[in-house]
Amino acid sequence: MRRVILAIFACICCIVCSAQDNVLSKILGATILESRESFDMKSVASGTYTVYAKILITKESGAREGNIVIFADKDKSLVSFSGSICDVSGKVLKKLKKQDLQSRALATELADDSYAYFYQPIAPYPYIVEYEYTLNYKRGVSSFPSYIPVTRPDVSLSMGRYSISVPSGTRIQYSSPIEPEKTSEGGKDTYTWNIGHFGGFVSESMMPRRLSLVPYVYATPVNFMYSKVSGTQGSWKEIGSWLYELQSECRDLSSAQIDALRSLTEGCATTYDKVKVLYDYLRKNTRYISIQLGIGGYQPFPASLVAKTGFGDCKGLSNLMKTMLAAVGVESDYFILNTNRKDLEKDYSSVGSMNHAMLAVPLKDGGVMQGDTLWVECTNPVIPLGYRHEDVAGHQVLLIKSGGGEFVRCSGYPDSLSRLENRVKVLVSSAGEATVNVCQTAYLDLMESRLSLYEMDDKDKSDALAKEIIVSSNNPKVNSISNNFSDYPKFGKAFVPWIRTDYSFESKNFAESNADRLFIPLTPLRRGVHWQRGERKNDIFIETGTTYLDSIEIYVPVTYECEGLPKTVNVDCAFASFSSSVKADGGKVIVFMKVVLKAGSYPKESYAEYKAAARKFDNMCSSKIVFRRKQ
C-alpha cells in the first residue's frame, strides 16, 4: 500500500511541478490520500476513538483541509498524538507532537466544558500532512463519532475506512449510503465501512444538501450512557421517554416565583394572551447561551436556575417557558427537531440527530385560534409569537411526552407567501440628481433577516440598507420600521408576519445627462439574479420558493419627454420565471419587475435554460430609460 501511495505522490508531484498556471488551476486544492477512523467500544460507559489521516495539500484553496482540529471535553480526553509535514518526495519538513497543538475553549462563557486542540500547518505547496491521535471516552457513549471524510469543496478522497467494534451481541444502528461488512472475533462484533475513490464536490448556489453528495456514516449504540446516565434509543418513542425523565426534575420554580407569574397574567383572557405575556417576559429577562456542562447536552438546567441567572440554551429556555406556562395553567409540549432536515429517518433514532428544542402550545379557547398550535421559539423571542420560522416550518418534530416520543409535523406556508416587495419613488432633476424613497416589505423567512434592524443603531441600519443600493448615494436615512407582529389573534395559523422598512437617500449622479438628454437607470436598487458562467456540476435544489416584486415610479422635470424605453422581459424556465413591464405616463415612467423561484429538485441540464433567462433579465435590469428635452 505504501508503495502505491508513494507512486501517487510522485505522479502528482510531477504534474504540479511541471504544470503551467492554467493547468494548475484545474487540480483540486487537496486530496485525502488515506483516512482511517475506528471506535473500539469497551463497555456502555467507555471506548477508544482512533483517527489517522494523510492529506496532500496542492494549493491555497485546499489549505484548510490540512488543519488539525481535535475536540475534547471532560467525557473524552486526548491520550496520544503524533504527526508530520512532508514534501511530496517524503522529506520531513516538521515532526508534530502533542505539545505543538494549541488548546482553546469552544465557548467564551463558563457554560461549556468542551475545548479543541488545533494546529495549522504552513509549508510550500504541495505538501503532505500526516497525523494520528487517540481519544478515550470515559463517562459514556451516546453515539459513535460521525464519519464524513470529505466536508469541503475542492477536496477528493482516495481511500477511506471507518470501523466500529462493540462487545459481542451489542445492538447498534447506523445511517449510511454504504453497507458495512460485519465480522465477529475475540468477543467483539466489528462493523467496517470501506470507501473507495470519491472525486469531491463543487459548491454552487441552489445545490442539494451536502450530505446527499458525500459519503458518510452515522452510528449509535441502542443501549447507551451519557455522562453516567443510561438510556435506550432503539426507537424515537424510547428517546422521548428518556428525555422526559431527564426533564421531570428540572421544573422547580419556587412558590414566590409562581405567584409572581400568576400576578403577571391575571388579566389575560385567553391562552394566547398568557403565552404572549410570558414570551415578552422571557425576551426581557433571559438570553441564549450554549450549555454543554455535564449532561447539559440533553438535560436542561433547572428552571429556577435559568430564571435566577437569566441565561440558558434552547433546552433550558424552553424548559423554563414550559414551567412558567404550567404555573399559570397552560399546557405545552417540549419538542426537539433537526433544523437542517425536514424529514427524520424513521429507522435511525438517535438523540444526537436533533440540534434544537422548542415548545408547542395547543390553543383551545375557541374563535380563530381554536385547534391551532403555537410553535414557540424560546431562544430568540424577537421572532413574532405564532410564526413558524424557517428552521421549523414544515419539519418533523418529536414531542417529548410521558408516554414517549411522538412525531408530528409543524405546518409550513405556501411558497407564494415568501416574498420581498419594494415600492420605489425616484425624483430626477435636470442635472441628473435624484431623491429616492423606498418602502420595502419582507414576509416570512425574508422578514427574519430584517429582525436585526431593531437592534442596530442608526449608522448600522444605514450601512445595512446601503448594500441594496447600486447607484451612487449618500447614506440612506431610515424613516420608519414597522411590523404586524401583534396581529396573530386576528388570523390564527394563517398569520403571515412582515416587516416594513421606509428609507430614503440622495444620489448626486443618479442619471447621466447632457444638454439634451437624461439617461436614467431602470432601478436604483440591486436587482437581477445570480447565475454561474461555467458548466453546472450539481442538480438544482430549492427548498423554499420565493417571489421578488419591484414597483418603481420615476419622475422627471416637465421639460423632458420620453424618447426610449428598455424592452420588457417575460420568460419562464423549469424552476424560475422573470417578467417586467416599462411604460411612460406623461412625466413619469412606471416599472414593474417580478422574479419567482420555484421550490423543488431539478436536473442540472435545466440550468442552461435558467441561465439564458436570468441573463436576459439582468440585461434588462441594467438598461437605461432615455428622456429628451422638449423642443
DSSP character string of 235-279: SHHHHHHHHHHHHHTT----HHHHHHHHHHHTT--SHHHHHHHHH
pLDDT confidence bin for 531, thresholds 50/70/90: confident
- Among residues 182, 212, 242, the one where a domain terminates is 212
Sign of CA dihedral 505, 509, 513, 519: negative
> Could you tell me if 448 and 589 lie in one domain?
yes
In this prediction, residue 295 carries a pLDDT of: 44
621 plus 507 within the same structural domain = yes
Least confidently predicted of 35-49, 105-119, 601-615: 105-119
pTM: predicted TM-score of the whole model, two decimal places: 0.86
* Residue 478 and residue 459 in one domain: yes
In-domain check, residue 296: yes
CA distance 307 to 470: 47
> What is the distance, to the nearest Å, from the Cα of residue 247 to the centroid of all Cα atoms in its chain?
28
Least confident of 97-106, 259-268, 587-596: 97-106
- Please report whether residue 222 resides in a domain: no
CATH number of the domain within which 505 lies = 2.60.120.1130
> Where does a domain end: 369, 385, 409?
409
What one-letter code names the amino acid at 277?
V
How far is CA 326 from each of CA 316, 331, 403, rounded to the nearest angstrom? 15, 6, 19
Q: Does the residue 248 lie in any domain?
A: yes
* pLDDT digit string, tens, across residues 200-215: 999 999 999 999 999 9
Predicted local confidence at residue 165, as pLDDT: 98
Q: What percent of the chain has pLDDT over 90?
A: 75
Asked whether the predicted pLDDT for residue 480 surpasses 80, the reply is: yes
What pLDDT score does 205 carry?
93
pLDDT for 291:
54
- Cα–Cα distance between 60 and 73 in angstroms, integer? 32
Question: What CA–CA distance (Å, rounded) separates 347 from 149?
Answer: 24
Per mean pLDDT, which range of 40-44, 452-456, 589-593 is the poorest?
Answer: 452-456
3-state secondary structure of 295: coil
The confidence band for 543, taking pLDDT boundaries of 50, 70 and 90, is very high
Is residue 239 in some structural domain? yes
Mean pLDDT of 393-400: 95
Q: How far is it, in rounded angstroms, from Cα 588 to Cα 568?
A: 17
Specify if 79 maps to a domain.
yes
Q: Which domain holds residue 276?
A: 233-409
Backbone angles phi, psi at 579, to 5 degrees: -145, 155
Do 164 and 58 fall into the same domain?
yes
- Return the C-alpha cell found at 422: 419594494
CA distance 615 to 55: 40
Compute the residue count for the chain. 631
Residues 475 and 360 in one domain: no
Strands 311-312 and 287-288, sheet pairing: parallel
Residue 546 maps to a domain: yes
Residue whose C-alpha is closest to residue 578's, from 566, 565, 568:
568
pLDDT score, position 329: 95
Q: What is the pLDDT of residue 106?
A: 58
pLDDT band at 417 (very low <50, low <70, confident <90, very high): very high
Predicted confidence at residue 289, as pLDDT, reads 73
Q: State whether 297 and 328 are in the same domain.
A: yes
Tell whether 226 is covered by a domain. Answer: no
Q: What is the pLDDT of residue 195?
A: 96
Same domain (yes/no): 463, 597: yes
Same domain, 514 and 622: yes
* Distance in angstroms (rounded) separating the CA atoms of residues 561 and 522: 16
Residue 217 exposure: Cα atoms within 13 Å on the Cβ side: 26
> Is residue 584 within 8 Å of 486, Cβ to Cβ?
no
The maximal CA–CA distance of the chain, rounded, in angstroms, is 100
Q: Are residues 432 and 567 in the same domain?
A: yes
Radius of gyration of the chain (CA): 29
What is the SS3 assignment for 604? helix
Quote the mean pLDDT of the chain: 90
CA atoms within 13 A on the CB side of 141: 28
Q: Which of 11-25, 174-188, 222-236, 402-416 has the lowest mean pLDDT?
A: 11-25
154-165 pLDDT tens trace: 999 999 999 999
pLDDT tops 90 at residue 552: yes
DSSP state of 524: S
Q: What is residue 249's predicted lDDT score, i.e. its pLDDT?
A: 78
Cβ(350)–Cβ(243) below 8 Å: no
CATH number of the domain to which 357 belongs: 3.10.620.30
Q: Assess whether 514 and 609 both reside in one domain.
A: yes
Is the distance from CB of 458 to CB of 464 less than 8 angstroms?
A: no
Interval 281-307 mean pLDDT: 76
Do 400 and 430 fall into the same domain? Answer: no
pLDDT at 290: 64
Question: Measuring CA to CA, which residue among 206, 212, 34, 203 is closest to residue 131?
Answer: 34
439 and 334 share a domain? no
Question: Where residue 305 falls among pLDDT bands split at 50, 70, 90?
Answer: confident
When pLDDT is averaged across residues 9-30 and rounded to a whole number, the result is: 47
Is the CB of residue 448 less than 8 Å from the CB of residue 458?
Answer: no
C-alpha distances in Å from residue 306, one per residue of 97, 110, 522, 617:
42, 14, 54, 53
Count of the separate structural domains present in the chain: 3
Distance CA 445, CA 92 (A): 52
Rounded CA gap, 386 and 486, in Å? 10
* Last residue in a domain, options 344, 378, 409: 409
* Residue 43, domain CATH: 2.60.40.3140
pLDDT for position 107: 53
Taking residue 195's Cβ as centre, other Cβ atoms within 10 Å add up to 22
Please state the φ and ψ torsions of residue 423, each to the nearest 5 degrees.
-110, 120
> Can you tell me the distance from the alpha carbon of 358 to that of 373, in angstroms, rounded to the nearest whole number?
13
SS3 of residue 548 by DSSP: strand
Determine the Cα–Cα distance for residues 386 and 375; give it in Å rounded to an integer: 6
Task: Quote the cell numbers at residue 198.
Answer: 470519491
pLDDT at position 23 over 50: no
User: Does some domain include residue 218?
Assistant: no
